[in-house]
Structure 1
Amino acid sequence: MAQTMIGVIGGSGLYGIDGLNAARWQEVETPWGTPSDAILTGTLDGVAMAFLPRHGRGHVHSPSTVPYRANIDALKRLGVTDVISVSACGSFREEMAPGDFVLLDQYIDRTVARDASFFGTGCVGHVSLAHPTCPRLSEACETAARDAGITVHAGGTYLAMEGPQFSTLAESKMYREAWRADVIGMTGMPEARLAREAELCYAAVAMITDYDSWHPDHGTVDISDIIATLGANADKGRDLVRRLPALLGADRAPCPHGCDRALEYAILTAPDKRDPALVARLDAVAGRVLG
């Protein structure tokens, strides 16, 4: 049986994991460039853990410049099996209030300036993204959140915008009323796409900081209000993460939803037509099917 390694990608406000045994920051080289930062590794309750600050310590990367491919490759290269993505977001739903968490299960991708796939000319791959998050992993996050006393909503659609500006009022109303999105953020894509291509189980925890700009009683997004909510949300996020090793355990069976076999029939380029240079770059991400 394989061994679990939980990888946590921390968003705005979440820059570490408390209580790791044998904790150390590791530099990881990838063929897709340098990750956002070194990766903090260690163990918690006997389970291997890895933490990567999405924006880098000190928040140096904007949503558009986060090296998403390098981040996912680095986690896979370290042996991560399960990725928990934690990020701040705005809410389009009255009942999804600032301070609440949402476990995402769908995305609408409005990003335009990011590398969205590991595959390309010389090695073409198409993975199913109908269900972009792992139900098993999301259920563990829901249990951890409820045990921590966090108000959590199971299921939600995330609108991924390019940013770095927030939405106009017209956009906010369109996303909420016409497109029926539940929350909005700037970093959910292409991260979820790339995790699927890397055959990683992926769950996304959206920490609500505001009501975007649609809410008549809350007005436009105010960065000072967001920062105030971020601190409280980060404490809750750390509490959720600390509970995951005990729920997931050190021994890991194959994913019942097939996340760890997403590339089984995805590679379409004939073996003799594959670009050796691209195949070499895919050694960690797709080595199981290309090797």
Structure 2
Amino acid sequence: MAGQGGIWQPNEEGLREICGVLEQHISPTSDKPRIWQQLQHYSQFPDFNNYLVFIFAHAQGASVEIRQAAGLLLKNNLLSAFKSLDPAYQHYIKSQLLPCLGEAKKDIRNTAGTVISVIVQQGRILGWPELLQALVQCLDSNDINHMEGALDTLSKICEDVPHELDSDVPGLSERPIDVFLPRLLQLFQSPHASLRKLSLGSINQFIMLMPTALFLSMDQYLQGLFVLSCDPVPEVRKLVCAALVQLIEVNPSFLEPHLKNVIEFMLQASKDDDDEVALEACEFW
């Protein structure tokens, strides 16, 4: 446990023990019920989640699998326990996760995004102003790891709690969606397929909600969709189909001026070499 008033620090022995149990936890030959009992025993300790986030964020000597196991266990714990944690521990966990957004190992970045999205579900976006700053900094950094980590996290938040990004946050002059949407639209032109896919997937989560920001950017969004309709990556073309299918449901008038283009694209997509793209395009009719 931490000294009075100091930043929480793990106890070396506790750290070794928990790493050992995590190692057994991911081993296919381990005695699962016994491991489970041990994890239950640890979860009685109020700072167990601090150990998990420490292992996840800092255990450079540990394998990616052990770090990931710590992150996933943390996510499951926070789903039920985040609100009841000591505020100092909540703060510690959040502060350790943010630097993981730009982690070189993709699995760690993605797991960080999953845990962050769970915290936003539990504690709301207004409970974590530093997160918005960190996401914006990463997106603007031109570093592919940071951009991908932030965008993957953002796409998970958009999927899990999109309304959180379209709400007023005390202390901010605009809604989070107003900050992120121009950046997401810009990334439609990224040379990196992962960034094109994640940015398009994120915006698609808002079609049903139709926040003012998206309504006002509809022309730019549609232009972007038409450019991406020829994307070399099937997953991106599939997301274009999904967007057009939703738009025609929500508000066909958006597509009216472009109907000829839309129909030509959908006919072409129905015969796409990729089955999933073709299947998504069939939904349109």
More strand by share: 1
Q: TM over 0.5: same fold?
A: no
TM-score bucket (shorter structure): under 0.3
Q: Which has the higher helix share?
A: 2
What TM-score results when the alignment is normalised by the length of structure 1? 0.25
More relative contact order, 1 or 2 (CA 8 Å, 6+ apart):
1
> TM-score w.r.t. structure 2 length?
0.26
Rg larger in structure: 2
